[in-house]
Amino acid sequence: MKSSKDQAYKLGKMNRPESELDSILKQLKQNRFAWFEKNKVKEAYEAGKSWAQRVKEEKKFHSTLPYADARFESFQTTTIPLNKEENIMSFTGIHPNALSEQAPSSEWTVVIDETGSEFSKDAYTANKTKVGRIVGIFIPKETVLPELPKEWHANELSLSEIESVVKRIQTSKCGVLGVSVNAFPQVHADQWFAGIEILLELALHLLPITEQTTFNIFVEKRGEFDCKMSSVLQKTCDDVLNRFRRVHPDLAQKLVLNGSIISKEGHSYNGYADAAAFVWGGSTAQKILKASRWLDTCFLGQLKYSLCDILELMEHEKSITPEMWTDLVTNQAAASDNSFVSALLRKLGEYAQGDVEKWRLYMNHTVRHLDSKAINMYILGRQLKWLKAYVPDDEKFLPRLRLLWLTVNLAEKNHRGETGFEEFQKEFHSLSEQLYEEDAPLVCNANLHLAVALTNNYDFNGAARLMDKWHSVPIETPGRQLYGRLLSTFGQHNAFLGHNEKACVDFRNAIKTFEKLSDPNESKLDISQTRAYLVNVLMDSGEKNVSELMNEFSLYFGGTLEEAAEKLSSSNDSGEKYAHHLLLRYLVSNRTEVSQKARAIYLDHRSNWKSGEGHPWEMIEFYRGLLLTDPLEQANLFRKAHEIVKNEGATLQVIDAVLLGSLLTLDSEVEDEYRQKVEQLKTSMPRLEERLTVLIDQPSKKRSPLELAAAVLPFNFR
């Protein structure tokens, strides 16, 4: 649905009478900024009329040309033409002082000041009040601010005096923009000029430009950069304009940037920039900053990728890279509905909602994240929240995309240990049957995730039956990588059912299949994950496979067991957590000479032990407890493991029951909590069957932690 401004702009282009604006104006919500929105609508209408008039004049001019040279008909310009209807992206509803919400003007006075003391490499690790920040106040010629005394310095005045100046900025028709030094890559020893450069470049992308426009830029001097160095600032302005010209050649022709470095008393408006910078950087002015609502709307925080690059891509491609998208959705400012980052994400969502392929770009990126096994649950949650919010219209949501969407949702549930997949299991099967001949790899991937859901629900026989049909398919049907994953899945199902020798054969065949992939990088993760399954099964197979187990460990860890213990003892890297879990399981459950040495190394680094969030960190803490001999220390680590997993999904609640059952052997006071947990599992996990009986009997039988885990948890859960 088009915004009010878009509709007004179109009316102006069509040269419709101004009376037709009334219906648009009536649609606006009567909020505190309604007057502001109405002015913007009227300005958009006038901008549309101006554009139509210019086009008319250009056509008249070109019609007088004597001929067209055919040599240039096929010439392709290297710049991307601007969509004139949009006149660079517009964002509304952020803040009245946001540059994107300003009215066009033929002349702007820009006063720039800085706050903070660190503009070098130290800015990236400095205390937040010391981080260098650049702040600009953009005053259109139509706005006249009261002149401030030349000796007006924020750090010499009371907070009430500063607040009155900030309120004057807020209630005037002028823009505010601030950038932080640590929000862009370090390119110079001193980032002060770089910050000014980025602030001005952003301003050109955000301010509405509809006519010949002059920017008179006044920057307060700093250190060695005094009034005599205005030529350096002018060179910076020229560089900004040249970069802008590459992506917006037509608009750049309308711009003039004049730069001057001034003394603190060099401009009567300089105090306004001084006040704005002070409230951003000063620890004593946080209440004023909060009341201004400039943070994350006008004062822009840290992003991994260049905001200018993001804006340019969105202006011309109506999309950004998946990596940029992930950076935006996980940015702290995205949690606020009226932040600039949220506005970017809403605009991107509008584009993606109307173009399935753009939406699928981010969907596929999320699937790759899910398949990576180095999953960050905060990032995944933010990615999926955005994808859910901007799912394309139903008529554009084709069956293949629907199955992919269901697969992503199912994979998220699997990772969280949730079991509520029955609601769309029927649709899963229906779509799989419908799409098998059209896209067998997609269906195979979906079935693999559904099989995981079934095993998470302890329905091991059901999972094996689901995958039966894939036993006989030729390798080219799903493709080599998915075929390897099928073999790995067959191995898991054999291991779940206690057929360890068959499982080992499947895992080895899967690894051989992955090793034949043409891109070694594609196979690394699959090989590592499958080798982890193989090692788990070999550990369960007893002493007869010790030499083979040590060889597989060496391949899995990329070194000796002792080296792995040295490295992992102080790691909480999410990419190493499964290896960490596997190492500790072996150190606890095996007493070979090699394991004893690695165990000693791991314990020597106890002071460096770190923890993390999500599975399998609860098992890492569990096994750490079993490495210790003091019952009190063991109990503390079992409790820590319980805290990690106690609020997770149903599958992980089974693990939590084992943790509480282990703690019960050391602390009888948790018996009521333990029994309550087991009662919940009777309803949420009915397929536990004999495993549930083991849990019910634990208060009386008091099985040891390792014995309880082996009796209840499948091979790869413990």
Mean pLDDT, rounded, for 253-277: 89
pTM here?
Answer: 0.61
Mean pLDDT, rounded, for 257-279: 88
Residue in 279, 245, 24, 311 with CA at minimum distance from that of residue 160: 279
Q: Is 12 exposed, middle or buried (0-12, 13-18, 19+ CB in 10 A)?
A: buried
- Following CA atoms 321, 205, 345, 3 in sequence, which dihedral angle do they give, to the nearest 10 degrees? -130
In this prediction, residue 418 has a pLDDT band, given cuts at 50, 70 and 90, of confident
Give the type of residue at 74: S
pLDDT higher than 50, residue 60: no
Q: Which of 1-10, 153-162, 467-476 has the highest mean pLDDT?
A: 467-476
Contact at 8 Å (CB) between 342 and 349? no
Higher local confidence (pLDDT), 60 or 523 = 523
pLDDT higher than 70, residue 371: no
| CA dist list (Å): 130 to 119, 124, 517 | 9, 10, 51
Q: Is 300 exposed, middle or buried (0-12, 13-18, 19+ CB in 10 A)?
A: buried
351/447 Cα distance (integer angstroms): 31
Sign of CA dihedral 50, 52, 54, 57: negative
Rounded to 5 degrees, what are φ and ψ at 384? -70, -35
- State residue 51's pLDDT score: 53
pLDDT in tens, 145-202: 888 887 788 878 888 888 889 999 998 889 999 988 877 666 666 678 888 888 999 9
Mean pLDDT, rounded, for 428-440: 90
Token pair belonging to 540: 């369960």
Q: Are strands 133-140 and 175-180 parallel, antiparallel or unpaired?
A: antiparallel
Mean pLDDT, rounded, for 345-361: 89
Higher local confidence (pLDDT), 94 or 603 = 603
Average pLDDT, the chain: 82
- State residue 367's pLDDT score: 78
pLDDT higher than 80, residue 380: no
Q: Which residues have a Cβ under 8 Å from the Cβ of 2 and sit 6 or more positions away? A: 10
- State residue 122's pLDDT score: 65
- Count of CB atoms within 10 A of residue 671's CB? 15
Higher local confidence (pLDDT), 49 or 368 = 368
Token pair belonging to 700: 């009386």
Q: What is the percent of the chain where pLDDT is above 70?
A: 83
Mean pLDDT, rounded, for 408-419: 74
pLDDT higher than 80, residue 4: no
Mean pLDDT, rounded, for 653-659: 95
Residue in 470, 475, 488 with CA at minimum distance from that of residue 536: 488
pLDDT higher than 50, residue 585: yes
DSSP for 444-458? HHHHHHHHHHHHHTT
Q: Is 486 helix (H, G, I), strand (E, B) or coil?
A: helix
| Residue/partner pairs of 26-33 with CB below 8 Å, 24 or more apart | 28/4, 33/96
- Following CA atoms 547, 550, 551, 557 in sequence, which dihedral angle do they give, to the nearest 10 degrees? 180
| CA dist list (Å): 656 to 391, 433, 572, 717 | 35, 37, 21, 11
pLDDT in tens, 30-52: 444 454 566 667 766 776 665 55
338/396 Cα distance (integer angstroms): 29
Q: Which residues have a Cβ under 8 Å from the Cβ of 362 and sit 6 or more positions away? A: 322, 325, 352, 383, 386, 387
DSSP for 388-411? HHTPPPGGG--HHHHHHHHHHHHH
- State residue 53's pLDDT score: 57
pLDDT in tens, 657-686: 999 999 999 999 999 999 999 999 999 888
- State residue 19's pLDDT score: 72
pLDDT higher than 80, residue 82: no
Mean pLDDT, rounded, for 422-433: 85
In this prediction, residue 68 has a pLDDT band, given cuts at 50, 70 and 90, of very low
- Count of CB atoms within 10 A of residue 668's CB? 12
Give the type of residue at 404: L
- State residue 9's pLDDT score: 66
Higher local confidence (pLDDT), 496 or 187 = 496
Q: What is the percent of the chain where pLDDT is above 90?
A: 39
In this prediction, residue 264 has a pLDDT band, given cuts at 50, 70 and 90, of confident
Place of tokens 């008249």: 60
In this prediction, residue 541 has a pLDDT band, given cuts at 50, 70 and 90, of confident
Residue in 135, 144, 39, 143 with CA at minimum distance from that of residue 92: 39
In this prediction, residue 508 has a pLDDT band, given cuts at 50, 70 and 90, of very high
Q: Is 193 helix (H, G, I), strand (E, B) or coil?
A: helix
3-state helix, strand and coil shares in percent for the chain, rounded to the nearest 5 = 65, 5, 30
pLDDT higher than 50, residue 601: yes
In this prediction, residue 535 has a pLDDT band, given cuts at 50, 70 and 90, of very high
> Starting from the edge strand earliest in sequence, which strands make up the sheet with 255-262, in order?
255-262, 213-220, 107-115, 133-140, 175-180, 299-300
611/570 Cα distance (integer angstroms): 9
372/375 Cα distance (integer angstroms): 7
In this prediction, residue 61 has a pLDDT band, given cuts at 50, 70 and 90, of very low
pLDDT higher than 90, residue 225: no
pLDDT higher than 60, residue 67: no
Contact at 8 Å (CB) between 332 and 346? no
Residue in 409, 419, 378 with CA at minimum distance from that of residue 653: 419
Mean pLDDT, rounded, for 529-543: 87
Token pair belonging to 607: 């002071």
417 CA to centre of own chain = 22
Token pair belonging to 627: 């490495």
Give the type of residue at 635: A
In this prediction, residue 66 has a pLDDT band, given cuts at 50, 70 and 90, of very low
154/217 Cα distance (integer angstroms): 21
429/410 Cα distance (integer angstroms): 13
Q: Which of 151-155, 593-597, 704-708 has the highest mean pLDDT?
A: 704-708
- State residue 63's pLDDT score: 31
Please report, in angstroms and rounded to a whole number, the separation of the first and last CA atoms in the chain: 52
- State residue 536's pLDDT score: 92
pLDDT higher than 70, residue 218: yes
